[in-house]
Amino acid sequence: MANRRKGIRSAFFRDAVRLKKDPLRQHLSGICELSQAQTTILLKHLPAIFSGATGRDKARATQTLAETVGGDAEHILQIVSVLEFLADQWDVYEDRAEDVLCDIREVGLLPETKAQCARIERFLKRFFRFLEKDSERRRRQRATSSVLPFLLRVDSAVDYRAVFQTAFNWSEDDPNRYSPSCQEVVPVILLKFVLSGNDHPIIFQCEPRDLEMTIGRLRAVQREYQKSQMLF
């Protein structure tokens, strides 16, 4: 305790009163049921889950982890869920591995058996060291996604529009006698940009030439971004 940092303790410690301790303790204790090889594989695959750009990427990485670790898939996914919870509570500016581990001890989430407690602590130390290293990525991510909305995903579709040979004149034509003539349909490209914190996505249509120009511009700015990284 004498070596604890000064200031605010971890969010995990502050929120402990609202946590369902029994399930958390149970899932943490489940780490003891994994072999050393399984825990190593588990930690190896966690970065792909935490750094997944989309929910689909995270789901795919989680499925790969469960299949690679082997054993009871539900049990593995429960452990991953607890680790994701701990990662969400992790303060990328303040938290340190030893401090958070001390908080976990004090809120009574470790098993009473010394052998199990020691094994879980060894695992958590390795996991928290990973979170410490991942904090740099998360700080950069937070910096790049703050203030302005950021792109969540791009959806696309090809629509078809009817080409009419006639045009309705609202001031002269009788709608009951209007007989439009349609001889063909033409494809139209539709794009939807979904941004963070935006309930109204940007939806527009474009021609193939416009799409090619946009793709070319995106490839160009990708190269510009790669070149700018070399400056630091």
Higher pLDDT, 165 or 1: 165
Residue 23's pLDDT is 67
Q: How many other C-beta atoms are found inside a 10 Å radius of the C-beta of residue 121? A: 14
Instruction: Give the tens place of pLDDT for each residue, 132-174.
Output: 888 888 788 777 767 778 888 899 999 999 988 888 887 787 8
Residue 1's pLDDT is 40
Residue 199's pLDDT is 77
Q: Percent of the chain scored above 90 by pLDDT?
A: 19
Instruction: Give the tens place of pLDDT for each residue, 47-74.
Output: 888 777 677 888 888 888 888 888 888 8
